[in-house]
Chain A
Amino acid sequence: EAGVTQFPSHSVIEKGQTVTLRCDPISGHDNLYWYRRVMGKEIKFLLHFVKESKQDESGMPNNRFLAERTGGTYSTLKVQPAELEDSGVYFCASSQYNSETQYFGPGTRLLVL
């Protein structure tokens, strides 16, 4: 069974540019989460989808971040315009409905210069 995949694995962009991260969850998982880890800090929750609906987006830093999950399958996280403090590792995770066990992807390492 394929795990959670994320694309790209790395991204280096300049301040002010736009970047779109993609996450493909495990097939059949209704729950999809985005997390971020900035240098030296803990992994922090960004938002949670149940199928195509945003269940909880309380962790989104500001309106420069936009997450979508059209059709309830893969999800994208767009940062526009990117700022220096957006640098970090963005993780996606998925889980089955009503399961506490989350399966994480390898992460996308974003560097904003």
Chain B
Amino acid sequence: SQKIEQNSEALNIQEGKTATLTCNYTNYSPAYLQWYRQDPGRGPVFLLLIRENEKEKRKERLKVTFDTTLKQSLFHITASQPADSATYLCARPNSGGYQKVTFGTGTKLQVIP
């Protein structure tokens, strides 16, 4: 089966620092990986998608990498702010149906002022 693992359940960092979240996958490399943000009582909100042939993608203070050798994606938030505190989810598509995705359990980020 295709699994997504986000090893850190929680991560606390100081405001202004860079937060780095890790997502590891098993089996074959997916065509893409997605990162979502989820706030308490809300549904996930799509942030970024990175394709297999892309090493890195950026969006404002966010940066995502995709390393097919390590079978890993890293999600960075630079100059972190308390408003960035949320749970961040990694997701991959399943084979045979690219729109069916498998989610990781998420990493809860707390940015301390």
Interface of B is mostly: strand
CB contact between A45 and one of B34, B49, B100 (< 8 Å): that residue: B100
A35–B43 Cα distance when bound, in Å, is 11
The interface residues of chain B lying within 8 Å CB-to-CB of A106 are 41-43
The interface residues of chain A lying within 8 Å CB-to-CB of B89 are 43
A104–B45 Cα distance when bound, in Å, is 7
| Cβ–Cβ contact B101 & A45, under 8 A | yes
Interface size on A, residues (CB 8 A): 25
Chain A 78-113 residues near chain B, CB threshold 8 A: 91, 93, 95, 100-107
Give B96's nearest chain A residue, CB to CB: A56
- 13 further A-B contacts with Cβ under 8 Å, apart from A45-B100, A55-B97, A102-B101, are A4-B43, A35-B103, A42-B105, A43-B44, A45-B102, A55-B99, A56-B100, A91-B43, A93-B43, A95-B99, A104-B36, A106-B42, A107-B41
